[in-house]
Amino acid sequence: MVDLESFRSSVFENGFAIAPNVISAREADDILSELSVSDLNRSRAGARHILKHPYVKKIAEDPRLLAFAQAVLGKGAFPFRATLFDKSPQSNWLVVWHQDTALPLIEKLETPAWGPWSVKDGIIYAHAPANALEKVLALRIHLDDSTETNGPLRVIPGTHNRGVLTDAELQELESEIPPITCIVNKGGAIAMRPLITHASSKSQSQVPRRVLHIEYAAVPEFENQLRLAIA
């Protein structure tokens, strides 16, 4: 069992936490089997906007996952977006240091500090300010073992407290703070704040790295009636 207070403290202090064995390896296989036969709008890297899929919604609302989200965000935490990442020797990519700052919204309402705006797969997005992103937590459920060689997530701890950074500031951080490679077992999870600086290398392995990335929010609405879309 993961101690939720230690988990919460790690997220607040470091911007991330690793929880082993959140679901069983068999449950991870069940998710893969279900998604493999589902009519998902897949891309080379996986599939996004899949929370409306009944099986994914069921996983996102599982009490075990909600307990982690609620430990950080409060009792009102709810899932609003899900993405499947599928990195393998046949579908391989490099992700440079970045923060996750875009949120899906129901409608476009011009608001100071929000933007630029875009549309992805018919869903409106805006880059959000730090005070909104502080109300979000992602849980990355690992459907395969994450290893040193299959392109694991790397994070720079503590950077979630620095606000939204410029590209130049992001690239400088690696020489300032040693990155941490997140090695997670199949069925384990990484919790991460959107503003923690993170990256991943190309896989050098034949072992796939498939992750169900579920995002939770503390509130459904931000300033100026900007409401999260379910994606």
Question: For every one of its 231 residues, what pLDDT tens digit does the chain have, with 9 covering 90 and above?
Answer: 789 999 999 999 999 999 999 999 999 999 999 998 777 777 767 799 999 999 999 999 999 999 999 999 999 999 999 999 988 777 777 889 999 999 999 999 999 999 999 999 999 999 999 999 999 999 999 999 999 999 899 999 999 999 999 999 998 988 899 999 999 999 999 999 999 999 998 888 888 899 999 999 999 999 999 999 999
Going by C-beta distance under 8 Å and a sequence separation of 6 or more, which residues neighbour residue 80? 51, 104, 215, 216, 217, 220, 228, 229, 230, 231
Looking at residue 38, the DSSP 8-state letter turns out to be: S
pLDDT for position 174:
83
Give the DSSP per-residue string, 63-122: HHHHHHHHHHH-TT-EEEEEEEEEEBTTB---EEEE---EEEESS----TT---EEEETT
C-alpha 164/C-alpha 128 separation (Å) is 9
pLDDT for position 121:
93
pLDDT for position 44:
67
Question: What CATH number labels 4-100+135-219?
Answer: 2.60.120.620
Q: How far apart are the first and last CA of the chain?
A: 30
- Residue 197 contacts residue 165 (beta carbons within 8 Å): yes
Going by C-beta distance under 8 Å and a sequence separation of 6 or more, which residues neighbour residue 98? 170, 197, 198, 199
pLDDT for position 153:
95
